[in-house]
């Protein structure tokens, strides 16, 4: 009996040793990039999610680049991943989508954003859904409808904030943008006085767990995140069902497009795809833009010479008007060259998206290495945006570095709004909101920082203590 126990124990040790060896030394038909797969099952997930307060390249990335070079392997949340900080490789990955790579995110993200979210759609289906979104947020809609709506929303919000002793800017701008976007997408009127009945509160619970470690049991941030999604999705589904019975005349919103598409005989759209898309659009529109706006105001507060130049650009726009009380025009928006530089420099330093994921469809040879089929590739925007070889003093807020550079699209060295065929369809809408907000803020108001403003990355950007400011009207 004793010998049998020893034999079973020995066999178990051998099996575990073999399994651990296989984990740390994955099979590959070529040469894998250098790196470590971390602990079995856990990989290097804990190090990846470790909080840091720096605006520099995340320590997880920086330490491994120093040790292994710009292309290395790791394992995150049980998935083997190749991390790229090389601008040329990143560009290749984006350009080869649909041929060698496809959009991919970890299962935990898919749980949060939905199995049919736009990031999980490929090929013709992705282009189909993208065109639906462009009907509402494309150039013509921005120019003719959204610009005045954004200005009206911003003016109303700033006027209200100026009556308060203190405003937590991240939450305030998120609420402002959510109200605007929800009204445009689903004709939803946000009422902050009724938290138990409003969609915004469910998204707040969702956000708290989005950048947390993916442990789904009661009490964890990730569990609360999933519960927030569940409640938000129920509200969206109820709204869509209610919309089917409504007949009154009003401006067409996203739900109207959805219903029209669902009625077509050969439609590719399903209710599940539409609801997941709505969820992603609502989240992305207000969360990312509010982070960028908060950081922009923080930078302007810390760099008065930049604020002075920005203010001069916007006051010059007012002075050129025949009627100083006229509303912003599309031509005025497009003339804001320094504002565009401020926005680009803000999102370059913000690095709101810490990683962009793709998955290899086949074994792919890149330089002397092979990326095995089925492995994920994480393009790392912070490493590109903070590369001292491309950006002098990369951690310095210097909008003038964008003078003479292309500012509208993506490039090998700038991917704040993605890249390739998945360049963010809401990019121009985000820039319009930021430009209009800055225009109203610097021409009609002054502000002072009161407290907060510190950032934490886990790995996404957040303001754990908020950024509290006091706003008052200018009296010339």
Residues annotated in the binding site, as ranges? Answer: 424
- Report the distance separating Cα 406 and Cα 424, nearest Å: 17
Contacts (Cβ under 8 Å, ≥6 apart) of 319: none
Q: Which pair of tokens denotes residue 376? A: 């994920």
The tokens describing 33, both together, are 């990039």
Which residues have a Cβ under 8 Å from the Cβ of 385 and sit 6 or more positions away? 348, 349, 351, 391, 394, 413, 414, 415, 416
Q: Identify the DSSP state of 322.
A: S
Tokens 């992603």, located at residue: 280
C-alpha–C-alpha distance, residues 279 and 277, integer Å: 5
Helices (H), 351-454: 381-385, 427-444
Residue 347, both tokens: 């999102």
CA atoms within 13 A on the CB side of 420: 21
Q: Is the dihedral of CA 95, 96, 99, 104 positive or negative?
A: negative
Tell me the binding residues for heme: 424
User: What pairing do the DSSP bridges indicate for beta strands 356-360 and 167-168?
Assistant: unpaired
The token pair that represents 36 in the structure block: 């470590």
C-beta of residue 50 within 8 angstroms of C-beta of residue 76: no
Do residues 402 and 345 touch, judged by C-beta distance below 8 A? yes
**Gap between the Cα atoms of 215 and 46, Å rounded:** 12
Q: How far is CA 100 from CA 106, 348, 366, 417, in A?
A: 19, 28, 11, 22
CB within 8 Å of 425: residues ≥ 6 apart: 130, 133, 134, 137
- Helical residues (DSSP H) of 265-408, grouped into ranges: 271-302, 304-319, 330-334, 337-350, 381-385
Decide if 70 contacts 62 (C-beta within 8 A).
no
Whether the CB-CB separation of 90 and 59 falls below 8 Å is answered with: no
Closest CA to 354 of 462, 460, 214: 460
Strand partners, 377: 82, 358
Q: If 0-12 CB within 10 Å is exposed, 13-18 middle and 19+ buried, where does residue 176 land?
A: buried
CB 379 within 8 A of CB 90: yes
């Amino acid at each position: 009996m004793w010998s049998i126990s020893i034999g079973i124990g020995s066999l178990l040790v051998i099996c575990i040793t073999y399994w651990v060896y296989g984990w740390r030394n994955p099979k590959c038909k070529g040469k894998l990039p250098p790196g470590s797969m971390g602990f079995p099952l856990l990989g290097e997930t804990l190090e990846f999610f470790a909080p840091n307060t720096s605006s520099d390249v995340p320590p997880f990335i920086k330490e491994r680049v120093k040790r292994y070079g710009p292309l290395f392997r790791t394992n995150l949340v049980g998935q083997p991943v190749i991390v790229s900080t090389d601008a040329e490789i990143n560009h290749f990955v984006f350009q080869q989508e649909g041929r060698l790579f496809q959009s991919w995110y970890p299962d935990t993200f898919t749980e949060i954003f939905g199995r049919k979210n736009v990031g999980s759609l490929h090929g013709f289906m992705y282009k189909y859904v993208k065109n639906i979104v462009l009907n509402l947020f494309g150039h013509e809609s921005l120019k003719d409808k959204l610009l005045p709506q954004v200005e009206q929303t911003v003016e109303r919000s700033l006027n209200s904030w100026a009556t308060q002793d203190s405003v937590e800017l991240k939450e305030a701008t998120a609420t402002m943008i959510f109200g605007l976007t929800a009204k445009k997408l689903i004709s939803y009127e946000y009422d902050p006085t009724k938290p138990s009945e409003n969609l915004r509160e469910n998204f707040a619970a969702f956000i708290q767990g989005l950048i947390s470690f993916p442990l789904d049991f009661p009490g964890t941030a990730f569990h609360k995140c999933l519960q927030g999604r569940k409640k938000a999705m129920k509200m969206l589904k109820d709204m869509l069902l209610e919309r089917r019975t409504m007949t009154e005349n009003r401006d067409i919103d996203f739900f109207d497009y959805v219903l029209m598409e669902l009625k077509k005989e050969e439609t590719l759209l399903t209710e599940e795809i539409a609801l997941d898309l709505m969820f992603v659009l609502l989240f992305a529109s207000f969360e990312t833009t509010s982070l960028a706006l908060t950081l922009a105001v923080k930078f302007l507060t810390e760099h008065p010479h930049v604020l002075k130049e920005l203010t001069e650009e916007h006051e010059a726009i007012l002075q050129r008007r025949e009627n100083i009380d006229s509303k912003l025009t599309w031509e005025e928006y497009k003339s804001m060259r320094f504002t565009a530089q401020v926005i680009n420099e803000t999102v370059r330093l913000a690095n709101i998206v810490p990683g962009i994921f793709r998955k290899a469809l086949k074994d792919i040879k890149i330089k002397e290495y092979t990326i095995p089929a089925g492995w994920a590739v994480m393009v790392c925007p912070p490493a590109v945006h903070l590369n001292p070889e491309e950006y002098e003093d990369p951690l310095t807020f210097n909008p003038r570095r964008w003078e003479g550079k292309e500012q509208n699209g993506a490039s090998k060295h700038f991917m704040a709004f993605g890249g390739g065929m998945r360049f963010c369809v809401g990019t121009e809408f985000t820039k319009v909101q930021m430009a209009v907000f800055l225009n109203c803020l610097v021409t009609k108001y002054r502000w002072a920082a009161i407290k907060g403003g510190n950032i934490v990355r886990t790995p996404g950007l957040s303001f754990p203590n908020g950024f509290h400011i006091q706003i008052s009207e200018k009296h010339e």
